[in-house]
Amino acid sequence: MTPSTKSEPRCVALYARVSTNGHGKSDGQTTQTQLHELRRYCEYKRWRVAGEYVDQGVSGAKTSRPALDRLMDDAAQKKFDVVLIWRFDRFGRSTLHLLNCLETFKKLGIDFVSTTEQIDTSTANGELFFTISAAFAKYERAVTAERIKAKLRYIKETEGRVPGPKRRVEISADEVQRRRAGGESLRAIARSLGCSAMLLSTRLKKANA
């Protein structure tokens, strides 16, 4: 389906999720009960349902989920005007992931509506919510980046190395034994090879076993 024009009913994508593979939960919440409420909401608003995206038995902590991935792909193709959910925690438990998706929807001109929280980014209150949330997301990303930089500086200053992808270290047991016989310490040899003394010792034990 193609998105609606201003004179047509809004075209909506419904998203539902539960983290259990069972048919129900202790609070009675299932994907079917969520979809039922979302369909009723669309009927009330006279919105047209473009598609239903359901993740069953998938944790909200995962940013990549089969149905959500399809929804994001279809959003990029602008197959709908609105993404409708029952509650924020159904979309995801990570605030940063939710806000990243909201930023993506905003760039695509797609509104986001949560029926339980009564948040609609097409309204003034919804726009305010998005603006404040986006500011917090930007702050959280900046704080995370600073923490990573601080950790890298600490490791460089205290250990004299810059962390990066682990590389395979080729170690010749005969060469190490020769250098040790020449008076070099195991720590000095390990440092020259770019590995830890513990790793070097383990490799030597395996080579001599």
Q: Which residue has the higher pLDDT, 82 or 171?
A: 82
**CATH number of the domain to which 20 belongs:** 3.40.50.1390
Q: Averaged over 54-69, what is the pLDDT?
A: 87
Same domain, 118 and 20: yes
**Does 22 score more than 60 pLDDT?**
no
Q: What's the whole-number mean pLDDT along residues 32-54? A: 95
The verdict on 195 and 98 lying in the same domain is no
Half-sphere CA count of 68, side-chain side, radius 13 A: 21
Average pLDDT over every residue of 172-190 = 83
Together in a domain, 198 and 103: no
Asked if 191 and 110 sit in the same domain, the reply is: no
Give me the domain span that covers residue 89. 11-123
Residue 107 shares a structural domain with residue 202: no
**With bands split at pLDDT 50, 70 and 90, how would you rate the model's confidence at 191?**
confident
pTM above 0.85, yes or no: no
**What is the end-to-end Cα distance of the chain in Å, rounded?**
67
Identify whether residues 29 and 109 lie together within a single domain: yes
Does residue 25 sit in the same domain as residue 112? yes
**147 in any annotated domain:** no
Do 177 and 86 lie in a common domain? no
Q: How many domains does the chain have?
A: 2
Task: Say what the pLDDT of residue 166 is.
Answer: 57
- Is the CB of residue 130 less than 8 Å from the CB of residue 106? yes
Is 43 a member of any domain? yes
- pLDDT category at 167 given cuts 50, 70, 90 is low
Residue 155 lies in a domain: no
Residues 35 and 99 occupy one common structural domain: yes
Residue 24 pLDDT greater than 60, yes or no: no
**Dist. CA 162–CA 170, nearest whole Å:** 20
Give the domain-ending residue among 92, 123, 154.
123
| Residue 78 pLDDT | 93
Mean of pLDDT values over 31-59? 94
The lowest-confidence range among 36-40, 62-66, 67-71, 193-197 is 193-197
Give residue for tokens 């440092």.
191
Higher local confidence (pLDDT), 38 or 134: 38
Residue 130 lies in a domain: no
Question: Three-class SS of residue 122?
Answer: coil
pLDDT per residue over 119-130, tens digit each?
898 888 887 877
68-110 residue pLDDT tens? 999 999 999 999 999 999 988 888 777 778 888 888 998 999 9
Of the chain, the percentage scoring pLDDT greater than 70 comes to: 82
**163 located within any domain:** no
Quick one: pLDDT at residue 179? 84
- CA distances (Å), 103 to each of 98, 130, 135, 191, 194, in order? 9, 8, 11, 46, 42
Residue 165 confidence (pLDDT): 57
